[in-house]
Every structure is written in C-alpha cells, then in structure tokens.
Structure 1
Amino acid sequence: MILIMGVLVFYPIIATFSYSLKKWKLTAPGDIHFVGIKNYLDIIQSDSFWYSMQNTIFILVFVVVFTTLIGYLVASFLNVDVKWSGILLSLSILPWALPPYVNGVLWKFVFFSGYGFLNKLLIGLGTTSKPIEFLGSRWTLLLVISIVVVWRSIPFMALVCLAGRQSIPVDFYEAAKMDGGTLGMTFRYITMPLMRPFIAVGITSTSVTAINVFDEIVALSGYSDLGKNILMESYLTTFTFLNFGKGSAMTYIVMFFALILGVFYLRSLNKEVEY
C-alpha cells in the first residue's frame, strides 16, 4: 500500500509542484527554467482565472444549498417505513451510480436549444413561441450545469442524512412527545443537533464535487470558455495551450481549495466519532 500510494499519489503531487515552479511549455521545449512563484502570480492576475473562479463559486453555492435541502427531504421520505422502502432506496441511488459524463449527456437532451425536451414542452404549453437557448449564455449554462450536479449529488447527501436520521434513538422522540414537544421543537432540539455531523460530511463531499466538476461541463458545452470553472481552466492551460508550468500551478490552486474542504471533512468525521 505504501508503494502504491507513493507511485500514484505522492510522486505526482511532488512532481506537479516542481513543474509549477518552472516555465515549461511544450511549444518551446528548449526553454525550460525555474521561475519560482511567477506562474502563481500570473494566474492570480489574469482575468481568465477570475472568470473561472466566479463560475466555480456560482456552481459551488447553488449545488451545496439545493443538494442539502433536497437531499434532506429525500432522506426524510426514505425514512418512512413502507413496503417498498428498499426499491425506493435503490431508485434514489441511480443518479449517483451513473458516470458524470453520461449524466451530462442525458440532461443535454433535456436542455438542448433546438429540439430539447424542455423546449418542446414549453412550446407545446404555449409558454414560448421559439426555442430558448439554455446552453447559449453564461449564466443559464451555469444554472444547467449546477442542476445536473445537484441531481447527481442528491443521492449521496440523502444516504448520509438517512444514516444520521436512523442513528437517532426512537426513545428521544417518544420522550419528547410525552413531554408535550411539538414537531418544530423536536426538529430543532433533537433532530438537527444530532444530525449536524452527518450533514456536515454531506456538505463537505458535495462541495468537493462542485469544485471538481468537469465531465458535465464537457458534455453540455464542450471545451468552450463560456461555462469553464477553475478545473477546466487548468485542463485547457495544460493540454490545449501545452503550458505545463502554469497548468501545474493551476492544478495546485484547485487542490488547495479541495484541501480546505478536506480539513472540514476530517473535522466532521471526528465530531461524528465523538458523538
């Protein structure tokens, strides 16, 4: 395991960091030299980076808010003990089980500007007389990307919330009911405090997913600049413009954001164990 981690994890991390400190373009292979943090400074000062950062923040906020709300509601629905609970749980996992690129392709048929399902539905209902360009503008494209990521992220959030909900002893609710506690009071003083560590784990995982969105963007809009996030910016810099030095620096910036969320994730796990 140490050998596998060293070859597949630690060596690439160290090598990528060394690349990020160099001027390294494949278009100029004879001009490779050390430049220090210049690549990082150039990235932070570029308009393209901040454009990608705005897109990333929009996707992150939208995905975290709606995944948390809908995931909790789905978990509450699945927590009801009915005859078909197992089947409902299996169906709820399907969006999470499908590959991200496949999810993006499926949703592209829904939001396609010309003959997408949603445009046909809106035209059939008389809401609009011509197709809407859902994927043709920046903010509507980001909205569609966020919806696709939310749809893929809800199952994991629902499973985490369901596990948290089922870990709460039934005796707490029976005692609260005997003491005259209302549904609102029970939710505020029993359910939410005891489920907070589980929700924190779900939010952290969802945040990392939102930052690392790639396949859905490619499936919906290709490699265009319109809906790119910081991960797409890193990919384009490295493999389209063949700038390995700046692309490696961009990769480390993405990893830095993921690392911050990872710290919160570990803290959430520790709280869960203490509980």
Structure 2
Amino acid sequence: MKRFLYPLSFLGPSVLLLAAFVYLPLIVTFEYSLQHYKLTEPGQDSFVGLLNYLYLLSDKAFQMTLLNNAFILLFVLAVGLVLSIIMGLVLNKKNILTPLLTALIIIPWALPPLINGIIWKFIFFPGYGFLNKLLLLTGIIDEPIAWTSSRLGILVVVSLAVVWRSVPFGAVLVLANLQHIPQEYYDAFYMDGGSPWQAFRRITLPLIAPSLAIIVVTFLSTAVSVFDEIIALSGYRFESQSLEVYTYMTTFNFLDFGTGSAVSYIAMLLSGIIGYFYIRYMKIR
C-alpha cells in the first residue's frame, strides 16, 4: 500500500492545481451555460436548460461569428500550410544564410499575438500605413486605400497576421522532418530519371506527412481561438468578431454570463474535436 501511495503523493499538487484551475471552472461554466444569468438582472437567475445554446444557433450575430472563424480557419490552413512547406524546403538548403534565416523566421512565432496584430495594423493602416506609403511612393495608387474598412478586408488582414505568426512553427516542423529523409532516396530516384518535382511528390511529400498532420491540427486550433490580432486590428467591431471576441463581449461587456458560458463551451467543443483527432493521430503514428 505504501509503495502505491508514495508515487501518488508526487501527483497530488498537480491534481490539486488541475482541479482548482481546470476542472472546477469547467463545471461552473457549464452550470452557468444552463442558466439565465445576467449581472444586469440581479435576483432573476433561473435554470433554462439548453435554451442558451438554442438561442445562439438562431442568433445572426453568432452565425456571422462562426462564418468569420470559418474564413480565418480556411485561409490560415491553405496559405499557412503551403508557406510552411516552402519555408521548410528553403531552410533545408545548406548555405551561409541558413542559420540567419532560421533565426529570423522564429521572431514572429516568439512575439506575443497582440504585438503581431499591432505590427500588421501599422502595415495596413487605412490612412498612411506602411503599405499605403509604399504603394504611393511607387506610383501604383494615387490615394490611400482603406484596407480594413470592410468586413472582408479585416478578415484577410487578421488571417495574414495569424499566418505570419503560425508559419514559423510549421516551417520548423517540416525542416525537422526533411532532415531525417536520407539523401540516398533522392540519389536513387534521380538516377532512374526522375525530376525534382516528381521527387517532391513521390518522396518528400509522403515522408513529411506526419509533420503536415500536426501542422494542420495546430493551425486549426489557432484559427478557432484567434483573439489578440482581431482586437489589435479592429477592436470590438461587430462584423469582425471571432468566437473568442464574441465570448468576451457577451460575458464581460453585456454581463450575460449564461450565454457567454454557452459560447465558451461551443468554442471548447470545437477545440476538443480538433484535439481528439490530433491525439488519435499521434497514437496511430
């Protein structure tokens, strides 16, 4: 019995921390999501079951938020995956600039998301931001373009900011995978008359598939939980809200803890589905 309890005693602090800061908040949040619970209506709390969830499914603002997240998700996945592969291939080429490029590509990944958002706001500022100044100096445009004045424009810029901070992680994973592919595979393939493009399709792409699966899941999780970039670029504008921003606005601006908790659980469910497939894939590998 003592031999059994001794190792468990080392797990005790971790279990207590998880219980206090993970499991208890999950239970309390789920309880709130089943209630009509607004701080602006004290004394009127009541159990409503799944009505908060049903309300969200019929709410046009929430539907638009889901579409915003879907756009960001597809953009980040498509552009980020391609750029990760390209950057990984570039960094895999041994030359004098490779160490410098590897260090530079880590910078966006190391910066806080809010700082990344501020940088991209400076670039795409509607008046005389960096991009507008560059286009004006080169004579491509005659007057500044309001890049973030429309919903589509904001979503594209937000997606670019998320891609910019996500690609370094993907590129490093691809690079690590590429460095474990034996050169003999390529030598034998070229001796048989294969072209570089065929070598990429038949050797490189299948062998970096494990890294690509991890990158896809990571990018999906990042796109679902995007918050800082949107706040930095557009604040709390209604048309550009993501799930995280919608949750924050509902809970802390409108003080509707019931509906806000329901949104949190929907976002957690989406992240949980992504995490499930990630863990399942890692077990298979």
Superposition TM-score tier, normalisation by shorter sequence:
over 0.9
- 1:209 partner letter: T
1:162 counterpart (172, 175, 181) = 175
Q: How many residues are treated as equivalent by the alignment?
A: 272
CA contact (8 A) 2:177 2:211 kept: yes
| Alignment equivalent of 1:32, drawn from 25, 45, 60 | 45
Q: How much has 1:264 moved relative to structure 2?
A: 2.0
Distance 1:86 1:9 in 2: 40
Residues in 1 aligned to 2:176 and 2:116: alpha-carbon distance in whole angstroms: 25
Q: Deviation of residue 211 (structure 1)?
A: 1.1
The offset of 1:110, in angstroms, is: 0.8
Tell me, in whole angstroms, the C-alpha distance in 1 between the residues paired with 2:136 and 2:97.
37
CA distance in 1, matches of 2:109, 2:174: 15
Maintained 8 Å contact 2:52/2:262: yes
The letter for the 2-side match of 1:133 is A
Task: Pick one of 250, 253, 265 that aligns with 2:266.
Answer: 253
CA distance in structure 2 between the aligned counterparts of 1:53 and 1:117, rounded to whole angstroms: 31
- Choose from 231, 239, 261 the match for 2:244: 231
Which one of 140, 152, 159 corresponds to residue 146 of structure 1?
159
1:183 matches 2:184: no
Measure, in 1, the Cα distance between the counterparts of 2:127 and 2:38: 40
How far apart are the structure 2 equivalents of 1:100 and 1:92? 15
Which one of the candidate residues 129, 134, 144 is aligned to 1:116? 129
The equivalent residue for 1:172 is: 185
Confirm whether residue 71 of structure 1 aligns to residue 93 of structure 2: no
Q: Aligned-pair distance for 1:162?
A: 0.9
Structure 1 residue 101 displacement after superposition = 0.5
Give me the whole-angstrom Cα distance separating, in 2, the residues matched to 1:46 and 1:224. 17
From 19, 23, 32, the equivalent of 2:36 is 23
TM-score, with structure 2 as normaliser? 0.92
Is 1:91 the equivalent of 2:104?
Answer: yes
**Inter-partner Cα distance in structure 1 for 2:172 and 2:77:** 15
Determine the C-alpha separation between the residues in 2 that align with 1:81 and 1:131: 42
**C-alpha distance after superposition, 1:25-62 (max 9, x if no partner):** 01112111111000000000000011111111111101
Q: Does the aligned pair in 1 maintain the 2:64–2:239 contact within 8 Å?
A: no
| 1:158 aligned partner, one-letter code | A
Unaligned runs of 5+ in 2: 1-13
Structure 1 residue 205 corresponds to structure 2 residue 214: no
CA distance in structure 1 between the partners assigned to 2:142 and 2:198 by the alignment: 49
Distance (whole Å) between structure 2 residues aligned to residue 18 and residue 167 of structure 1: 49
CA distance in structure 2 between the partners assigned to 1:12 and 1:44 by the alignment: 24
For 2:179, what is the secondary structure of its paired residue?
Answer: helix
Aligned-pair distance for 1:4?
1.5
Partners in 1 of 2:36 and 2:198 — Cα distance? 60
* Pairing of 1:253-272 with structure 2 (within 5 A): 253-271=266-284
Quick one: percent identity of the two aligned structures?
Answer: 44
Matches within 5 A, 1:37-52: 37-52=50-65
Helix, strand or coil at the partner of 1:226: helix
Larger radius of gyration: 2
Output the CA distance in 1 between the equivalents of 2:101 and 2:249: 40
Cα distance between partner residues in 1 of 2:149 and 2:101: 36
- When normalised by structure 1's length, the TM-score is 0.95
The amino acid that maps onto 1:227 is: S
Q: Which amino acid aligns with 1:240?
A: N
What is the alpha-carbon distance in structure 2 between the residues aligned to residue 169 and residue 270 of structure 1? 25
